[in-house]
């Protein structure tokens, strides 16, 4: 019979501890943009405690005046002031915490999106990893808007309330302190049990979101093959899993609330018994003078009794939001993995003064463990056109992408040496300012034709835009669309029109290095001939590398490299 290795168990424990510490550090780091709001909320919590103390004093004075048959002017004034100020503070606190949470989430999203759009993180085929991005980041709102303020308040305000109670009744303060200690221990144990369930619930929600989005995307295909019922069952099962996980988390949250209410009730009851029996003189034991009521026993007893529930008020809020902390931690782990995938090293810009010579020396490429193409060597003279020919999957597009730059997170790696001009290209070199790129699948953004073309050269004049539209045969499209914007899917555009837009976008940028991926695909013979003529008339003075299947296009190039 095998037994678990103690060393491996210790290693796993250390790893889990290190992960918890890393998650906590990351949550603190993300909170920096809202640092001022967080401090303001803590100050408001302290002010709320002082208002509660004012209310307690006012209530005690009112009852004492009523008992003495006097009109309670000061007591009622303190009650009204305490209640009014506390209501205003509560409203402001909720507004500030909600605003702080949105500020933090917005900063996080902008940072991750900036990394994703840097071109060195995930490739287009890997962008499915970004699908759960908004679900994970949205899970942080409850943590920053409710749990974090409640945790900060619960670490300070109960002790502050107990200190105020100690001023009038040290014995009542000791009762509150002793009932508080076991509750904190039980809440910590409950939180450890909730963490795993919260992580499972978030994973189930992520799976449901990705499944639903995927089925909507492929709805025409599902309908065409009459698979609606079977796919509906899969979505239903995923939704049921989310419901079960959510209920499990809520059950644990309710258990924690039950523990809280039990100790809160015990605490208030003990203070009430002590104060009541002490005022009636029926305590079965003598209370030392140092622990007895410091001022008028009646007023002191009612102040202590009124403030007793306030010890557990922030803890109630903490208990209600405790499961949100576990959800946030699970979401943070996923977001940290996403950040690691998008991490980009510090880049060194490469500025090219003119058309460069590009040299590939025994360059090979692989994606993870799969080789894309074997070592290849060639030189593209400065200002010339080189055509890359080969079957689909031979690595033409990948070879061009090596010049765009990659990161280890993309899974694409290469061996050999690439030299541009006199500089050896490294993973930290950034050629984006000196090259223009046409991808095989032209992305269309929401906007007019002119907006889409100016993505490559925002400062292009209207005359330059009009010239490239004419050169690439887009006059009819420009006339038909006018200022009508495309949607983000480019609905209504044919494959050939998309290609022409991509080529026009690349040609518009005055870059000395031009990379084109299948510029003449999806065109009929006459349109292809016209575009080839236009292309070669526009690339004079540039170094051009073209990935293509077209023998006609390759025949016009200065050299042809077959992969």
296 and 353 in a single domain? The answer is no
Instruction: Provide the pLDDT for residue 120.
Output: 55
DSSP code, position 447: B
In a domain, 3, yes or no: no
Instruction: Provide the pLDDT for residue 2.
Output: 47
56 and 142 in a single domain? The answer is yes
In a domain, 100, yes or no: yes
Question: Where residue 160 sits, what CATH number does that domain have?
Answer: 1.20.1560.10
38 and 109 in a single domain? The answer is yes
- Range(s) of the domain holding residue 363: 348-562
199 and 73 in a single domain? The answer is yes
Question: Where residue 487 sits, what CATH number does that domain have?
Answer: 3.40.50.300
Which of these, 522, 523, 513, lies nearest to 545 by C-alpha position?
513
In a domain, 250, yes or no: yes
219 and 320 in a single domain? The answer is yes
Instruction: Provide the pLDDT for residue 34.
Output: 85
Count: domains in the chain:
2
- Give the Cα separation of 471 and 533 in Å (integer): 10
Element (H, E) at 363: strand 358-367
Which of 297, 325, 342 is where one domain is finished?
342
Instruction: Provide the pLDDT for residue 258.
Output: 74
- Give the Cα separation of 377 and 361 in Å (integer): 5
333 and 356 in a single domain? The answer is no
Which of 320, 342, 364 is where one domain is finished?
342
Structure-block tokens of residue 343: 């991490």
274 and 357 in a single domain? The answer is no
Burial annotation 79-107 (CB, 10 A radius, 16+ → b, else e): beebeebbeebeeebeebbeebbebbbee
199 and 273 in a single domain? The answer is yes
pLDDT (tens, 9 = 90+) of the chain, 563 residues, equals: 445 555 555 665 677 678 778 888 888 888 888 888 888 888 898 899 899 889 988 888 888 888 888 888 888 998 999 899 989 998 998 899 988 888 888 888 888 777 766 655 555 444 555 556 777 788 888 888 888 888 888 888 888 988 998 888 888 888 888 887 776 666 666 666 666 676 677 678 777 877 877 787 777 778 877 888 888 888 888 888 888 887 877 777 677 677 777 777 888 888 888 888 888 877 777 777 667 777 888 888 888 888 888 888 887 787 777 777 777 887 888 788 777 766 666 677 778 888 888 888 988 877 766 667 678 888 888 888 999 888 877 788 888 888 877 655 556 677 888 888 878 887 777 777 888 888 888 888 888 888 888 888 888 898 998 998 888 888 888 888 877 888 767 777 887 888 888 888 988 888 889 888 888 887 788 888 888 888 888 888 889 999 888 888 888 888 988 87
Q: Note whether 519 and 535 are within 8 A (CB).
A: yes
From the number of C-beta atoms within 10 Å of its C-beta (0-12, 13-18, 19+), residue 323 rates as buried
> Which tens digits make up the pLDDT trace of 278-305?
888 777 777 776 677 778 888 888 888 8
In a domain, 1, yes or no: no
322 and 366 in a single domain? The answer is no
In a domain, 5, yes or no: no
Which of 342, 361, 380 is where one domain is finished?
342
In a domain, 13, yes or no: no
- Give the Cα separation of 406 and 420 in Å (integer): 16
165 and 213 in a single domain? The answer is yes
Element (H, E) at 528: helix 525-538
In a domain, 120, yes or no: yes
133 and 152 in a single domain? The answer is yes
pTM of the model: 0.61
109 and 214 in a single domain? The answer is yes
In a domain, 4, yes or no: no
For the chain, how are helix, strand and coil distributed in percent, rounded to 5? Answer: 65, 10, 25
């Amino acid at each position: 019979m095998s037994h678990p290795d103690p060393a491996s168990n210790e290693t796993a424990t250390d790893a889990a501890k290190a992960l918890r510490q890393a998650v906590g550090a990351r949550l603190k780091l993300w909170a920096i943009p809202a640092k001022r709001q967080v401090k303001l909320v803590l100050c408001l919590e302290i002010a709320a405690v002082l208002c509660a103390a004012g209310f307690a004093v006012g209530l005690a004075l009112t009852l004492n005046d009523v008992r003495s048959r006097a009109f309670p002017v000061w007591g009622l004034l303190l009650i009204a002031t305490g209640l009014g100020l506390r209501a205003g503070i509560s409203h402001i606190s909720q507004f500030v915490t909600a605003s702080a949470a949105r500020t933090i989430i917005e900063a996080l999203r902008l940072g991750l999106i900036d990394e994703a759009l840097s071109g060195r993180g995930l490739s287009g085929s890997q962008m499915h990893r970004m699908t759960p991005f908004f679900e994970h980041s949205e899970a942080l709102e409850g943590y920053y808007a409710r749990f974090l303020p409640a945790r900060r308040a619960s670490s300070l305000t109960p002790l502050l309330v107990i200190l105020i109670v100690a001023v009038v009744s040290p014995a009542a303060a000791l009762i509150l302190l002793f009932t508080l200690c076991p509750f904190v221990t039980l809440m910590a144990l409950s939180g450890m049990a909730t963490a795993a369930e919260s992580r499972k619930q978030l994973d189930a929600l992520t799976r449901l979101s990705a499944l639903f989005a995927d089925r909507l995307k492929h709805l025409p295909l599902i309908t065409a093959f009459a698979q609606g019922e079977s796919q509906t069952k899969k979505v239903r099962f995923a939704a049921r899993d989310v419901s079960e996980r959510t209920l499990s988390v809520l059950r644990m949250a309710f258990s924690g609330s039950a523990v809280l209410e039990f100790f809160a009730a015990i605490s208030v009851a003990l203070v009430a018994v002590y104060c009541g029996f002490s005022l009636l003189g029926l305590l079965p034991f003598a209370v030392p003078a140092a622990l007895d009521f410091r001022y008028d026993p009646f007023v002191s007893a009612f102040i202590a009794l009124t403030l007793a529930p306030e010890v557990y008020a922030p803890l109630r809020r903490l208990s209600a939001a405790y499961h949100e902390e576990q959800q946030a931690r699970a979401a943070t782990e996923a977001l940290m993995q996403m950040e690691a995938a998008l991490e980009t090293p510090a880049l060194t810009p490469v500025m090219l003064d003119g058309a460069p010579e590009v040299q590939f020396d025994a360059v090979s490429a692989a994606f993870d463990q799969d080789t894309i193409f074997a070592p290849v060597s060639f030189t593209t003279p400065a200002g010339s056109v080189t055509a890359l020919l080969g079957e689909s999957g031979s690595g033409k597009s990948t070879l061009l992408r090596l010049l765009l730059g990659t990161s280890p997170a993309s899974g694409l790696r290469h061996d050999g040496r690439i030299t541009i001009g006199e500089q050896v290209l490294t993973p930290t070199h950034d050629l984006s300012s000196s090259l223009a790129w046409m991808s095989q699948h032209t992305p269309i953004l929401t906007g007019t034709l002119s907006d889409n073309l100016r993505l490559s050269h925002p400062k292009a004049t209207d005359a330059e835009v009009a010239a490239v539209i004419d050169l690439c045969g887009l006059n009819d499209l420009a006339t038909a669309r006018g200022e009508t914007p495309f949607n983000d899917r480019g609905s209504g555009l044919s494959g050939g029109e998309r290609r022409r837009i991509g080529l026009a976008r690349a040609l518009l940028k005055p870059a000395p290095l031009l990379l084109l991926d299948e510029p003449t695909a999806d065109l009929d013979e006459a349109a292809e001939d016209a575009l080839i003529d236009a292309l070669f008339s526009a690339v004079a003075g540039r170094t051009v590398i073209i990935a293509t299947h077209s023998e006609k296009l390759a025949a016009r190039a200065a050299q042809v490299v077959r992969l």
